[in-house]
Amino acid sequence: GRLEAVTQQMGCHPQYLDSFLKMQHYLMHMDGPLPFDCRHYIAIMAAARHQCRYLVNLHVLQFLRAGGDPQWLRGLNFIPPKLRNLNEINKILAHRPWLITKEHIEKLLKISEWSWSLAELVHAVVLLAHCHALASFVFGCGCEQDEGPGGRGVLKPLSPGNQCFCEATTGNSCSQELLRINRKRSLDSCMELDSLRERMQRIHVEAEGREETRLLQQDQEEGERHEWRWVCRMGAQRGGAGGLSIGLPHLRLSPLADADGAVTSAANLACYMQDPDFGYQDFARRDEDQTQVFRVQDYSWEDHGFSLVNRLYSDIGHLLDEKFRMVDGLQSSTMAKRQGCEPSVFKRGIWNYIHCMFGIRYDDYDYAEVNQLLERVLKVYIKTVTCYPEKTNSEMFDRFWKQFKHSEKVHVNLLILEARMQAELLYALQAITQYMV
């Protein structure tokens, strides 16, 4: 029995893991406004903004399994204009979500034949925010580091014996939802390695066949010879590596190669980005020309965002809300006790500090508490993982809070994941609301 790295980390808090997997399964694999291949490509675009090879490789694999066109993996210049138009919102949400305006929303909804529907756009926004925040967790817990043999992204054997991920993380008892996911054999399920290899091989053959047919047709039409072809080989021949589906047995995603054998690996992320130098800048309010502070009293998840999301993308609001509440309810008494405060006070300090970095303020909170509750090394860690996770090095997770338990460190990263995701959603949903008004 083996567990993939993200599942291992989240498994420190099994109730949260259950909630996370239900939401992710619904978002990626259940009925919704967006086609399945587009969902995974949007996830690739989102993960590339933070140079997260782990998630890019995961969704490249799933994109091909969903029947996606291998040509799209050459980069943004090879995808339909409708998807490419999402790049601007992806860039802003990933780094400076306070810059999102109703004009951005209007542009996407009113571009003649390439226009998005409101339901599609909400689905896409939730996908982007989910993958941006998950990239923070991946880097924050070291899952991205050292994808080769012995790296932290490699699967580790469980003890005892053969268990599926839900058995290992919930005391050998699965929720009904996870059992249903297993029965559906979704990408978040526990499948036998041999069965998965066979399916990967079939996908490879089908993808290669489609591409060769397309090239032959193009040769006939244009009279040109094409010297390359796409090959996607899936298997475990090269040993263990990261880039896996949560809950899947371990496989390595082979690079894409041209006919001359030149590697054009999915890890070359520049093709999935435009304006790569655009990044996080400190939110500041110095004068009236600066971006206005986002006040939760005027637009909150509970009173506004939840109902809008649920209306346009059925049931996702309930799953997101459950996940937000679950992370807030995780036990952290030891962690808070060492900081000399109540658990709820400590968690709120972390949550509000993260939101503050994105310009979101709570009128009923005394921000002087942040400096009292959070020591400097913890604040540096939180800001790095939240705002530019790609700069997180392999030692940071081990170094910060050496006196704290591993599960407590993971808890901090779960707070970062959820607070960041909610911040991005608040800005995007407020802009959509303003457009609708």
Q: Which residues are catalytic?
A: 52
Residue keyed to tokens 């030692």: 395
Asked if residue 253 lies in contact with residue 57, where contact means CB atoms within 8 angstroms, the answer is yes
Count of residues in the chain: 437
Closest CA to 126 of 237, 46, 242: 46
Residue 2: its H or E element:
strand 2-3
Q: 143-146 — which CB contacts under 8 Å span 24+ positions?
A: 143/5, 143/6, 143/9, 143/54, 143/242, 144/52, 144/53, 144/54, 144/242, 145/394, 146/394
Tell me how far apart the alpha carbons of residues 353 and 408 are, in angstroms, rounded to a whole number. 18
Which of 256, 260, 253, 254 is CA-nearest to residue 271? 256
Q: What percent helix, strand, coil does the chain show, rounded to 5?
A: 60, 5, 40
In angstroms, rounded to a whole number, what is the distance separating the alpha carbons of residues 396 and 411? 15
Q: Are 159 and 3 in contact (CB under 8 A)?
A: no
